[in-house]
Amino acid sequence: MLSQLISQFDELCQTLSDAVRRGDEDRVAEADDRILPLMRRIFLMRAPDRSEIGRQVDFFANLAVRNCDDEASVRRYTRMMAQLTERYLDAVSGSAGIEFLSRMQDSPARVGHDASLHEIILDSMPERVALVGRDYRYIYTNVRNAEFHGLRPADFIGRHLRDFIGDRRFRSRAKGKLDSCFEGNALRYHYTVADGEGQMQDVDCRMRPLRGGDSEILGGLIVLEMQPVFAGA
């Protein structure tokens, strides 16, 4: 169904392009009226499997590339890609979102060095996002998480989590949570931390197992959503 809708969209875009070239204003108006509802249908579809998730997200990524000269369009399509990513991450089972993210892992060495569409999507998310291997070393982090530490995403790849949060916090909190995650459990917990400007932040931390194509747990997906803690709140 998704493939059919995307094909219809491509045909409609070609019809619109031909009508513009011919100066056929009636045909232009007709095609223009159909494009947005069709795009909305594609966006609202819930992809049933890993392949369709990739196809759906790549559709909007291609639109962003196609309209790269229009800043408003690029923002719109990257926002839609981010919303799709969040939709699958927040699925009840979580499996669709994890499978989607595992597409990034051709090999751990490549993650964080190739500007894949999936990294662009994760970089557009408001949350801090990281992938940590079973050795507690970073496989990937998005720009927002790197900026929280005053670093670049590339500075994280292959480095141990304790290098960024300290040995005490790693042993007292993060290690036990990650070990549970590596056993197949999804976790959610809260803590407070000071940001780079000294403002205390309430952190909503979600962890989920990251599985490869053979369902083996490769590591953990960490999503950190932050809200300022106001005095007297």
Report the side by side order of strands in the sheet with 128-133: 138-141, 128-133, 217-228, 200-211, 187-194
E strand residue ranges, the chain: 128-133, 138-141, 187-194, 200-211, 217-228
pLDDT tens by residue, 24-53:
888 889 988 998 899 999 999 888 776 787
How many structural domains comprise the chain? 2
146 and 192 inside one domain: yes
Query: Of 60, 89, 118, which marks where a domain is finished?
Result: 89
CB contact set of 205 (below 8 Å; sequence gap of 6+) = 177, 187, 188, 189, 190, 191, 222, 223, 224
**Amino acid at site 131:** L
Per-residue pLDDT band for 80 (boundaries 50, 70, 90) equals confident
Whether residues 187 and 130 share a domain: the answer is yes
Both 79 and 158 in a single domain?
no
Residue 183 lies in a domain: yes
Find the CATH number of the domain harbouring 190: 3.30.450.20
pLDDT for res 66: 76
* Cα torsion 101, 215, 219, 182: sign: positive
The pLDDT assigned to 51 comes to 72
Which residues form the domain of 9? 2-89
Q: In terms of domains, do 195 and 147 share one?
A: yes
For the segment 217-230, what is each residue's pLDDT rounded down to a tens digit?
888 888 888 888 76
Q: Is residue 110 part of a domain?
A: no
Residue 212 predicted with pLDDT over 80: no
What is the model's pTM? 0.55
Residue 220 CB neighbour total at 10 angstroms: 26
pLDDT, tens only, 94-141 = 444 444 444 444 333 333 333 454 565 666 667 888 888 899 999 888
Angstrom distance (rounded) from CA 160 to CA 133: 9
Report whether 104 contacts 140 (CB < 8 A).
yes
- 13 is a domain residue: yes
Q: Which residues pair with 131 in a beta bridge?
A: 140, 221
Which three-class secondary structure state does DSSP give residue 227? strand
Indicate the DSSP class of residue 173: I
Q: Assess whether 84 and 145 both reside in one domain.
A: no
**What is the residue-wise DSSP string for 118-170?**
HHHHHHTSSSEEEEEETTSBEEEE-HHHHHHTTS-GGGTTT-BTHHHH-HHHI
